[in-house]
Amino acid sequence: MIIKTKHSMQKMSQRGIHKNLLDIVLIHGIVKKDKIILNRKICDRFIKKLDKQIPKIKRLGNTLHITRLNTYRTTLLKIRDKGGVTLVVMGNTLITIYNTDIKLKRRRRPKGRK
């Protein structure tokens, strides 16, 4: 169980991050120092796995399981569309949460050099 601070709850509502997105990031995210990151690449990997599993389960006829997998897939797609989600955690307390969406910066050449 993770404890949410007032700040993290404000940021979740501002950035459109719901509890189900938070749960998926906690389950599948990669831990780097004090951050838990779930980026596009990881989301794509899980979506491909789900796309392979859903037809197999449809053949078995388990409709409840199929609907759960479809909702899980749509949640992963939401995270992917955001560019990923990053949680900043200290112990079991959620400090803040933000969209990962990393943009590459171009390196400029210094003036006078060619």
Q: What distance in Å separates the CA atoms of residue 89 and residue 63, rounded to the nearest whole number? A: 36
In one letter, which amino acid is 72? Answer: Y
Phi, psi (5° rounding) for residue 31? -90, 125
The percent of residues above 90 in pLDDT, for the chain, comes to 77
Q: What distance in Å separates the CA atoms of residue 65 and residue 104, rounded to the nearest whole number? A: 39
User: What three-state secondary structure class fits 105?
Assistant: coil
pLDDT, tens only, 16-58: 999 999 999 999 999 999 999 999 999 999 999 999 999 998 8
Specify the pTM: 0.81
The pair of structure tokens assigned to 6 is: 């007032």
User: What three-state secondary structure class fits 89?
Assistant: strand
In the 8-state DSSP scheme, what is residue 72? H
Are 54 and 72 a contacting pair, CB within 8 Å? no
Q: What distance in Å separates the CA atoms of residue 89 and residue 82, rounded to the nearest whole number? A: 20
